[in-house]
């Protein structure tokens, strides 16, 4: 995954390596374990997240479902990005530059329909509340 982030004429590029560990492994996660990441349940939740984010903050939404085996397989990897030094290096002590969220398609039909999440996992990348890119699948 490549994340591009521009702010005040400064562009950061973060390369996130593909998942390791072999096919079907979860890198230590358990399906059904509580998520470390905040979950958005509605467009109002997303609106608050965008409003609270610093200007230029990259917001990544992962659309997922408990019944999606690929989603479960990458869950630990995606949640681990929140602690990844490459991601953290984009933020300062006072300003977060990357915010990761999860959206359960079965709990959040309005967000699911708004972004047209018909295949999972779906990653939607937003900057200042505007969609800048999408990624479908885990490869």
Strand-pair partners of 64:
104
Domains and their CATH numbers in the chain: 36-136 (3.40.30.10)
Give the three-class secondary structure for 93.
coil
CA dihedral 137, 103, 12, 77 (to 10 degrees): -60
Q: Which of 60, 68, 87, 111 is the catalytic position?
A: 68
Q: Which of 19, 71, 120, 122 is the catalytic position?
A: 71
- Residue 68 annotated to the active site: yes
pLDDT per residue, tens digit, the chain (139 aa), is 444 444 444 444 444 444 444 333 333 344 455 568 899 999 999 999 999 887 888 899 999 999 999 998 888 888 887 777 666 666 555 566 788 899 999 999 999 999 999 999 999 999 988 999 998 887 6
For 94, residues 6+ apart whose C-beta sits below 8 A from its C-beta are: none
pLDDT of residue 139: 66
Q: Are 27 and 18 in contact (CB under 8 A)?
A: no
């Amino acid at each position: 995954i490549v994340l591009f982030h521009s702010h005040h004429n400064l562009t950061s590029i973060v390369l996130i390596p593909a998942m390791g560990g072999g096919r079907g492994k979860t890198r230590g996660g358990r399906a059904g374990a509580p998520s470390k990441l905040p979950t958005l349940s509605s467009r109002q939740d997303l609106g608050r997240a965008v409003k609270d984010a610093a200007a230029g903050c990259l917001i990544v939404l992962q659309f997922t479902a408990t019944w999606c085996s690929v989603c479960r397989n990458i869950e630990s990897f995606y949640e681990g990005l929140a602690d990844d030094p490459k991601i953290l290096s984009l933020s300062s002590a006072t300003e977060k530059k990357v915010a990761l969220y999860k959206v359960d398609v079965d709990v959040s039909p309005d967000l699911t329909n708004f972004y047209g999440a018909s295949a999972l996992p779906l990653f939607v990348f937003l900057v200042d509340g505007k969609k800048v890119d999408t990624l479908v699948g885990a490869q």
